[in-house]
Amino acid sequence: MHRRTVFIVDDDASVRDALSLLLSLRGYPTAVFGRAEDFLRVLESHWRGVVVADIRMPGLSGLDLQRALAEHPSRLPVIIITGHGDIDAARQAFKLSAVDFLEKPFDDELLVAAIERALAHLDDEPRPPAAGTLSQREREVMALVVDGLDNRSVGERLGISPRTVEVHKSRLMAKLGARSFVDLVRLVQKRR
């Protein structure tokens, strides 16, 4: 697969065809799938690109697909599209690191911009850090932060102030080359 492939996963054939045509005309290679299960069955770890997935499909949903991809070595970024968007679904999608959440019908330019953002991150993915670069305290802070605890909760668990947690978090992100919380989570997942 080409590095800029857009994998379209939607149970509606007309949506798949329209997106494939639109993106092909813009120069993106595309591959289409009617079900998330079909895509996951053939997905290989060396594939690169971005997944555009409908949130509501028979069988595995777009969110289920996102969860599966988070565990897959390919680490393909995901853009969720939906005809029935709601705040809870959007929150879940972003919590799973969605690049964007677009409601149908959406502006073609918004989709293309989201695809470009996703592909740009592929070019500058952070490398896994060397094992010995973090102090013991930084490793403790990192583990708790990645588990979803806020600075105050981390501080309470470790017996330090929230400000000290913020300092440790800032240092560990700098040492690891993580530019965002999402980068940090990816790095931790690669180390596990």
Condensed to tens digits (0 to 9), the pLDDT of residues 25-43 reads 999 999 999 999 999 999 9
Q: Where are the domains of the chain?
A: 5-123, 136-191
Q: Is the peptide bond before 105 cis (omega within 30 degrees of 0)?
A: yes
> Is the pLDDT reported for residue 2 higher than 70?
no
Asked: is 136-191 a CATH 3.30.70.100 domain? The reply is no
Q: What amino acid is encoded at 153 in this protein?
A: S
Of the candidate CATH numbers 1.20.1300.10, 3.30.70.890, 3.50.50.60, 3.40.50.2300, the domain formed by 5-123 belongs to 3.40.50.2300
- Residue 172 contacts residue 138 (beta carbons within 8 Å): yes
- Residue 163 contacts residue 139 (beta carbons within 8 Å): no
Alpha-carbon gap, residue 143 to 154, rounded angstroms: 10
Condensed to tens digits (0 to 9), the pLDDT of residues 141-180 reads 888 888 888 889 999 999 988 888 888 888 888 777 777 7
In the structure, what pLDDT confidence band is assigned to residue 64 with cuts at 50, 70 and 90? Answer: very high
First-to-final CA distance of the chain: 27
- Compute how many other C-beta atoms are within 10 angstroms of the C-beta atom of residue 82: 20
Condensed to tens digits (0 to 9), the pLDDT of residues 95-143 reads 888 899 998 888 899 999 999 988 887 655 544 444 457 788 888 888 8
Q: What amino acid is encoded at 18 in this protein?
A: A
